[in-house]
Amino acid sequence: MMPAACPRLFEAEAMRDGRLAGAERASFVRHTTSCAICRREVEALEALGAALRAGGGARADELHDLRERTRLVGAFDRALVAPRRRSGALRWAPWAATAAAMIAAAILVARPRPNVERAPALVVTAAAGAVWSRHGGEGRETIVLEQGELWIRVDHARGATALVVALPDGELEDTGTIFTVSVGGGRTTRVAVAEGSVSLRIRGLPPMTVGRGESWVPAPPSPLPSAPQRGRTPSPARPAPPRRASAAPAATPDEADPALDFRAAVAVLDAGANREAAAAFARFLATHPGDPRAEDAAYLHVIALQRSGADDEMKRAAQEYLRLYPAGFRRGEVEKLSR
Amino acid sequence: MLRMAGGESGALGELYDRYHEPIRRFIARATSDAEDVDDLVHAVFLAAATSAGRYDGRDCCRPWLIGIAVQHLRRRRQARGRFFAVLSALAGAPRKVADPGPALNARGDVERALRAISEPKRVALLMAEVEEMTCPEIAAVLGVPIGTVWTRLHAARRELRALLAGAEP
């Protein structure tokens, strides 16, 4: 009669699961030759395993397999693996490019304000400490120089538009040149032309042309009138002729009445007599509406009124400037004042 | 695997052709033929494609794919467990454990008996008996101690045999 259970029965499952090895396994195998209970247990476990291996769900049909395969490969191509298709260095290329761009941007931000600004047809080189700005406009480029020295090259053959350098006491218009302009103490201190020529308009002076190889420096300042007197025009400073005149000096004093009237009005404004200056500019505009200085006079008329606190008059004058000179050089500034 | 890691969808197609049948069968049995078997198979092969670069180099990919399948099954089970926990909480009563007896209308039906045992035990049993994975391999894939694997296998066999014999496990 067989015993109801064998104390080594558990070893059947242990052997199947790999828990018995070496001598223990060999011992149990020998035991199964003599113990029918353990032998049947081993056979039952093997039968269960075989039944499990033989089982399984119904096999999917071929069309279903094909459909799933297509779906899988499509998803692989579309979503998941596309970013991984790059191999080796290419995988890191976007990161490297991003890092390079960030480093370049950091260098650009961190370094001091560049002294050289380059454009295909216009090159501006600023001396250290120069205070200036550049403004594009319709058919005209404007550089505002407040302090210091700029070296400018304009190449009209390469499509440069008209260039005007706004100076504290006037303006300079390029006509295709390489030139240097310096400002100090709120006034133009030097204009030197290496190539071509420039038109120089300094407040209180007649327009001048500074040609190749010439330079212009202001005459020593003449004492301004201590206070403007009504009905009397102060004497304007006389322009200094360009030096090193390889050609005849282009700047000559303009003794015509419009020039005198204009210089007189400017001098009054410089003296701080704003109401009188406004009246002088209004007279100039009424007397010489077609004079080349009329636009400047219209602008200075607005400024004089603004300084005097006559806001309503100032706005009307500003609107008149905009009407007469819709593309005027100081349009932007006057537009603000007109509102 | 190298080709797949390099982004060759053709290599994935070959892998699918070779192993999709056993993987699908494993997932179907582990989930009791759930409706999302196809989605799980799909997810397993896509996961294999994206992690092909980390393949350990063994000759046969099947245990590796089974391991991925088990990970997906575990995540699925955890998500479903949370879902049922929320449902139970809303109903105000603990979820009733299904009685495997009624499921066994036909004695000797291994598949029906297999569905009656819990998924962790079922998965361990399928990995050991069908996929012929060793217990250390199963433990590594499931992320459990090897003793847990032995315990699950023992309980799974006991329950399965009891069910097949028509007795309470």
B63-80 pLDDT, tens digit per residue, is: 888 988 988 888 887 777
- Token match 């081993």: residue? A42
> How far A88 CA sits from the closest chain B CA (Å)?
10
**Minimal Cβ distance to A52: which of B5, B28, B125:** B125
Does A17 contact B50 at a Cβ distance shorter than 8 Å?
no
Does B49 contact A57 at a Cβ distance shorter than 8 Å?
no
pLDDT in tens, A114-140: 444 444 477 787 777 788 887 776 567
For residues B148 and A75, the model is more confident at B148
SS3 content of chain B, % helix, strand, coil (to 5): 75, 0, 25
pLDDT in tens, A274-291: 888 888 888 888 888 888
The ipTM estimated for the assembled molecules is: 0.75
- pLDDT given at position B62: 86
- pLDDT given at position A158: 64
A59 — pLDDT class (breaks 50, 70, 90): low
For strand A162-167 and strand A140-154, is the pairing parallel, antiparallel, or unpaired? parallel
Assess whether pLDDT exceeds 50 at residue A334.
yes
Provide φ and ψ at B53, rounded to 5°.
-65, -20
Cβ pair A215, A181 in contact under 8 A: no
Mean pLDDT for A41-56 is: 86
Does A87 contact B7 at a Cβ distance shorter than 8 Å?
yes
For residues A246 and A20, the model is more confident at A20
User: What percentage of chain A reaches a pLDDT higher than 90?
Assistant: 9
Residues of A in contact with B29 (CB under 8 A): 55-57
Q: What is the DSSP letter of A79?
A: I
User: What percentage of chain A reaches a pLDDT higher than 70?
Assistant: 72
For residues A253 and A162, the model is more confident at A162
Mean pLDDT for B85-103 is: 53
First-to-last alpha carbon distance for chain B, in angstroms, is 43
**Mean pLDDT lowest among A69-73, A292-296, B53-57:** B53-57
Cβ neighbours of residue A38 under 8 Å, at least 6 residues apart? A6, A8, A9, A11, A12, A28, A31, A32
pLDDT in tens, B111-159: 888 888 998 999 999 999 988 899 988 988 888 898 999 999 999 999 9
**Mean pLDDT lowest among A16-20, A177-181, A308-312:** A177-181
Nearest to B42 by CA among B67, B7, B68, B77: B68
- Please name the residue of chain B whose CA is at the shortest distance from the CA of residue A60: B21
Calpha distance A162→A156 (Å, rounded): 8
Mean pLDDT for B11-17 is: 83
Tally the residues of chain B: 169
User: What percentage of chain B reaches a pLDDT higher than 90?
Assistant: 14
Mean pLDDT for B87-112 is: 54
Calpha distance B143→B75 (Å, rounded): 13
Average pLDDT, chain B: 79
pTM of the model: 0.43
- Please name the residue of chain B whose CA is at the shortest distance from the CA of residue A73: B9
- pLDDT given at position A60: 65
For residues B86 and A225, the model is more confident at B86
**Mean pLDDT lowest among A131-135, A205-209, A256-260, B63-67:** A256-260
- pLDDT given at position B111: 84
CB pairs under 8 A between A and B: 89
Residues of A in contact with B20 (CB under 8 A): 65, 68-69
**Minimal Cβ distance to B134: which of A18, A52, A86:** A18
**Which tokens hold the place of A32?**
């199964």
**Minimal Cβ distance to B29: which of A56, A65, A72:** A56
Mean pLDDT for A212-217 is: 83
CB atoms within 10 A of CB A45: 18
- pLDDT given at position A125: 79
Provide φ and ψ at B8, rounded to 5°.
-80, 110
> How far A57 CA sits from the closest chain B CA (Å)?
6
Q: Is A290 touching B (CB cutoff 8 A)?
A: no
Cβ pair A142, A172 in contact under 8 A: no
For chain A, state the CA radius of gyration: 46
Nearest to A271 by CA among A304, A315, A295: A304
Mutation for B interface: A48, A63, A78, A85, most B CBs within 10 A: A48
**A36-54 helix and A22-34 helix, angle to the nearest 10 degrees:** 110
Q: Is A13 touching B (CB cutoff 8 A)?
A: yes
